[in-house]
Amino acid sequence: MYKIAVAGSSKYSLLFAKTLSKNRNFTISWILTPSPKPKGRNKELINNPLHSWALEKNIPVVLVGKQIDAQVKKQIEQKIKVDYLLVVDFGYLIPSWLLKQPDLTALNIHPSALPKYRGSSPGQMLILNGEKKSAVSLIKLNEKIDQGPIIAQIPFDVPEKWTQKDYYDNSFYLMAERLAELIIQYSENKLKEKPQTIKSPTPIARRLSKQDSYVSWNLINKLILNYSSLESQSGVGVKQNQKNTNSSGILMKLITSKTENKIAETVCRASKAFYPWPMVWTIVPTNKGQKIMKILPCKIKNGKIELLLVQIEGKKQCLWREVKNSIKSSIK
């Protein structure tokens, strides 16, 4: 029986812990997970899904604050030695001493076809860039981010309609179905490690901020009205109207690098890539002043962006057609 420690924080980390715990060849020895964080108006401390499950199953837990420090090291050194440390959706840099803690090795599951899309937001960047195929990777962890040798990859197609949630659900559930088998094969030397190239063919999929999914209302308005025909009448190009907007985020930078006939497609992809967080958002001029408006997954129809569901700050999600008359046009 293989002894496993799981480091993670999310429902996906929990998925793998549960999967391995149900297999007679594995036992979960301890859990490494972030400390409870205050949430809601009352700032109540809430355990993450993996933490709650470990407490329910009486599995020892080591909590991490801002970083894996000396106090965490001391606690882990007092825990039972494990064969494998499995790191899934954890969010912390793993120090070299922790990589050496397991008797066999430390493993990581990364939801991309490494070496493509290393980093913390591979699904979002992959969808945003219109990739049609991807994979979920099982790798041996080293001290470099997502650069450890590849043990196995499970390929899959990426349908155009997928949101980031669809992407991550598919990636992790595919690997969960085969993880026990793959670890056993690796332990028996039936799977050989494949070194990654040092340089990735894609930019690092860095951690996202809310600013990354901002897009100017002036541009969205043009896309709704079909900007190509509008330009021929007004002589005003879409990119020229972006000069006074905040273009520091990923979405606005990507838009300004695209040809005009690809901008609507990029915004439509972004509405899926950034859903359910941080969501594509803009600032609209309403009858009650400027308001933030979030744009849920939309589509392109007859060359135009067709908004479906939106959410104006302070309001619940609703159909675009229910609120569009309260928003002033910014086309000049």
Burial per residue of 281-303, b for 16 or more beta-carbon CB atoms within 10 angstroms, e otherwise = bbbbeeeeeebebbbbbbeeeee
> For the chain, first and last CA: distance in Å?
70
Place of tokens 């408006």: 293
Residue pLDDT tens, the chain, 332 long: 999 999 999 999 999 999 999 999 999 999 999 999 887 777 788 999 999 999 999 999 999 999 999 999 999 999 999 999 999 999 899 999 999 999 999 999 999 999 999 999 999 999 999 999 999 999 999 999 999 999 999 999 999 999 999 999 999 999 999 999 999 999 999 999 999 999 999 999 999 999 999 999 988 988 887 654 434 333 333 343 343 445 579 999 888 887 667 888 999 999 999 999 999 999 999 888 999 999 999 999 887 899 999 999 999 999 999 998 888 765 44
Task: Give phi and psi for 98, each to the nearest 5.
Answer: -75, -30
Options 3.40.50.170, 3.40.50.1980, 3.50.80.10, 3.40.50.2300; CATH for 2-187 is 3.40.50.170
Per-domain boundaries in the chain: 2-187, 210-326
Q: Which CATH architecture does the domain made up of 210-326 adopt?
A: Roll (3.10)
DSSP line for 282-312? EEEEETTEEEEEEE-S-EEETTEEE--EEEE
